[in-house]
């Protein structure tokens, strides 16, 4: 059982840092708008083989994930962020809930989870793309003062 994790394991909570760089994307809870993680916390993985990777679950050819044959990931896999710590301690897997409004964002498993593209990701801190909004910062230099 994991009772205590080193601080270095967790990415910094975006709410504890005032400024973000112009190139980084911030992800917020779609329901309450609380900042959850930055694009630098997203872990990339190579795309899996799609529905054929789910053969053990009896997925048929009619149950294609995408009609055009191109499979896409429906979730972000992130490194653990500081706000996740209470949910992660002492358990191997569970749900990831928004720390402000407690809406379900995704799930985690230290053993790993399979992405919608078919790739196995270990350990998995999976946040569904449909539960978060992407917030991009605009460069401040491109704005001109409004003349009234």
In the chain, where the domains are located: 7-44+72-139
Q: For residues 111 and 120, what is the distance between their CA atoms, to the nearest angstrom?
A: 10
CATH classification code of 7-44+72-139: 2.170.150
86's torsion region: left (phi>0), alpha (psi -120 to 50) or beta?
Answer: alpha
Tokens encoding 60? 């048929």
* pLDDT above 60 for 13: yes
DSSP letter string over 92-110?
SEEEEE-TTT--EEEEEES
* Alpha helices in the chain, H assignment, sequence order: 85-88
pTM confidence score: 0.73
Say what the pLDDT of residue 1 is. 47
pLDDT tens digits, residue range 89-126? 889 999 999 999 999 999 999 999 999 998 999 999 99
- How far CA 117 is from CA of 2, 124, 141, in Å, comes to 30, 14, 39
* pLDDT above 60 for 143: no
Say what the pLDDT of residue 52 is. 66
* pLDDT above 60 for 50: yes
- The per-residue pLDDT of the chain, averaged, comes to 80
């Amino acid at each position: 059982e994991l009772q205590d994790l080193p601080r270095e394991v967790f990415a910094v909570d975006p709410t504890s840092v005032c400024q973000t760089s112009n190139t980084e994307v911030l992800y917020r809870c779609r329901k309450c708008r609380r900042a959850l993680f930055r694009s630098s916390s997203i872990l990339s993985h190579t795309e899996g083989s799609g529905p054929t990777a789910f053969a053990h679950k009896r997925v048929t050819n009619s149950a294609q994930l995408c009609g055009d044959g191109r499979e896409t990931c429906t979730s972000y896999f992130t490194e653990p962020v500081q706000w996740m710590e209470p949910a992660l301690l002492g358990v191997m897997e569970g749900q990831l809930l928004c720390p402000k409004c407690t809406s379900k964002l995704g799930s985690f498993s230290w053993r790993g989870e399979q992405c919608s593209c078919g790739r196995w990701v270990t350990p998995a801190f999976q946040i569904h793309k449909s539960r978060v909004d992407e917030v991009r910062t605009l460069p401040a230099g491109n704005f001109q003062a409004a003349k009234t």
